Amino acid sequence: MLVMPETTAARVASTIAKAQHIDVVTVTAEKTLAELGFDSLDGLRLIFELEEEFDIVIPDDQAKSYTTVGRIIEGVTMLLERKTAAPADT
């Protein structure tokens, strides 16, 4: 198997697919979480899984804007950039 570094988008998609036990090919940028079968509790579990996967803290107000796969990828990307720019105090 060819091992390639996964992009953030691919990691988000695979986290979504894993959380919902669905095929990753169905997880496309324009899809809403509702279209992928997420209810409100599933959505909360996804936020938790994303925080675990990327070791980030997703603030409540930002989590509320995570309605489509594309917006989640944008949000996570932004948080990752912010994390790289301002490393945690030692």
Question: Which has the closest alpha carbon to 8: 50, 64, 68?
Answer: 50
Question: Which amino acid does the sequence have at 19?
Answer: A
Q: Is 60 a catalytic residue?
A: no
Q: How many residues bind other proteins (CB under 8 A)?
A: 9
Q: Tell me: does residue 53 bind other proteins (CB under 8 A).
A: no
Cβ nearer to other proteins, comparing 25 with 57: 57
Give yes or no for residue 48 binding other proteins (CB under 8 A).
Answer: yes
- Tokens standing for residue 51: 């925080």
Q: What is the C-alpha separation between 90 and 3, in angstroms, rounded? A: 33
| Residues composing the chain | 90
7, 34, 45, 81: which one contacts other proteins (CB under 8 A)? Answer: 45
Query: Is 44 near other proteins (CB under 8 A)?
Result: yes
Which residues sit at the interface with other proteins, rule CB under 8 A? 20-21, 41, 44-45, 47-48, 51-52
Catalytic positions, written as ranges: 39
